[in-house]
Chain A
Amino acid sequence: MSTPPPDTELEQLELDLFVEALKRRHGHDFSQYARASLMRRVRQLVHDHHCSSISALTAQLLHEPDFVIQVVQGLSVPVSEMFRDPAVFRALREQVLPILASYPQINIWQAGCAHGQEAYSLAILLEEEGLYERSHIFATDFNPDALQRAREGIYPAKDAQQWSRNYLEAGGSLSLASYYSARYDFIRLHERLRRNITFANHNLVVDKVFCEAHLVLCRNVLIYFSNPLQNRTLTLFRDSLVRGGHLCLGLRETLDFAPVAVDFTAVDPKLRLYRRSSQPTSGNRDESP
């Protein structure tokens, strides 16, 4: 075994140039993503597209107009489940929905929706608690392909078993199967579930607040962001939330390094469930003039 040691510094430089090319040529800004994961995704792209190096990938990105679509798909990680972490969905059902019930119209922003699994999970919760008619779920992502699949609501049948268990653990009183029809190797969620969901393209790095939300659910998205971008995105959520509105993050995410955390109070810290404080906010609102 005498492969020469890979020049890690050179590879870091190549990653910088790739990120710069993606930003300047295509307007996608990954410069504030956490580096280790980004490097891993980019290496994966290099491998999948049979490139000899990150620089070769960058060249393709610069010269082949449509290649960027595949690159963004490779950098986005649309991995999700229905009712992932059932205890969280149980808490949403038992603790949060009763509070949301006091609003005449309920707006939920589900950011980083991947293939829609969590948006549909929320729709089922709201349906079962009798709130869905006056609710609207804005499910956003920056990956157009993921959004298209989310709209279709078709998933591999092999995933349904785990999701059915999750659903029951989350306090579901029926069977998940009552919300889908099974065809061969796939399940298709009932179209009815989608009636109050809007799947829309929204990039957390550049796009602004677009609704007044009573609940923001953004799980396992900020883990891919550097500390400054995490803080900026949390500021966006704060500004979107009504006072007292709920924020739900992924089970292993921390607010410890985000200054804007002072504007949230923990409802259930283990489940990463927070509320926007009712006091006036600390810093400036969103940068927009």
Chain B
Amino acid sequence: MNRPEAIAIGCSMGGFDALKILLAALDPRLPQVVLVCCHTAGNVEAMCELLASHSTLPVVEARERGPASGNTVHVAPGGYHLLLEHDRHFALSVDERVCFSRPSIDVLFESAADVYHAALIGVVLTGANRDGADGLVQIRSRGGIAVIQTPTSAKAAAMPQAALDTAGTDYCLPLEEIAPLLNRLCLT
């Protein structure tokens, strides 16, 4: 199995608190690109700063045309879909909302799957809609790995449940166990 090159994480309602916990437990040596799409009405730049104070890796807002660099968490800016180009640079779009959301997890997952194929881990955390489910199908269909937070352990169960029902999964774990799993998958 190829070693993953990127981790794409999607979350919605309750996502900020979940990210704080997850990012705090990632191994600081992870060489992977970490992509985050978190639905929030708030200011994403401020969110990045707050997350950075918990995270073991640097947390930045993904920059249009900028490189998707490793060992860094890149967060989708508010109001735009985040996509990846084959040369591993970011692109943004203001296409229609998907699942009432822009940025949409489905859009990020699908475009990351196009670029990283099997070398991608998709993670669906807490949320109250069904964004991410179709994207996770795309990740799995290209041989990537799916990780879903157990719905009962999530602040909002709908999103992980929809992902489970639609895409199935390789791992279904409580939040606290997800970072250790990612560390294991990414460093060994």
Contact = CB atoms under 8 A, between A and B. Distances in A.
A39 B111 CA distance: 9
B85 A34 contact: yes
A75 to B, nearest CB: 11
Given A34-B85, A34-B91, A254-B66, A6 B141 contact: yes
Interface residues of A, number: 25
B65 interface: yes
Contact of B65 (A250, A251, A257): A257
Interface in A237-281: 250-254, 256-257
B107 A40 contact: yes
Contact of A79 (B64, B91, B96, B168): B96
Interface in B105-145: 107, 110-111, 114, 117-118, 140-143
Contacts of B107: 40
Contacts of A252: 64, 77, 79-80, 92
B65 A256 contact: yes
Interface residues of B, number: 28
Interface string A1-39: 101011010000000000000000000000000111101
A contact face: mostly helix, strand, loop, or mixed? loop
Nearest to A37: B93
A36 B83 contact: yes
A223 B93 contact: yes
User: B77, B83, B92: which has the most chain A beta carbons within 10 Å?
Assistant: B92
A165 to B, nearest CB: 13
Contacts of B92: 223, 252
Contacts of B84: 36
B58 to A, nearest CB: 19
24 contacts: A1-B140, A5-B117, A6-B141, A8-B117, A8-B142, A35-B86, A36-B84, A36-B85, A36-B86, A36-B111, A36-B114, A37-B91, A40-B83, A40-B111, A41-B95, A77-B95, A77-B96, A251-B79, A252-B64, A252-B77, A252-B79, A252-B92, A254-B63, A254-B64
**10 closest A-B pairs by CB:** A36-B83, A37-B93, A34-B91, A223-B92, A254-B64, A220-B94, A36-B111, A36-B91, A257-B65, A252-B77
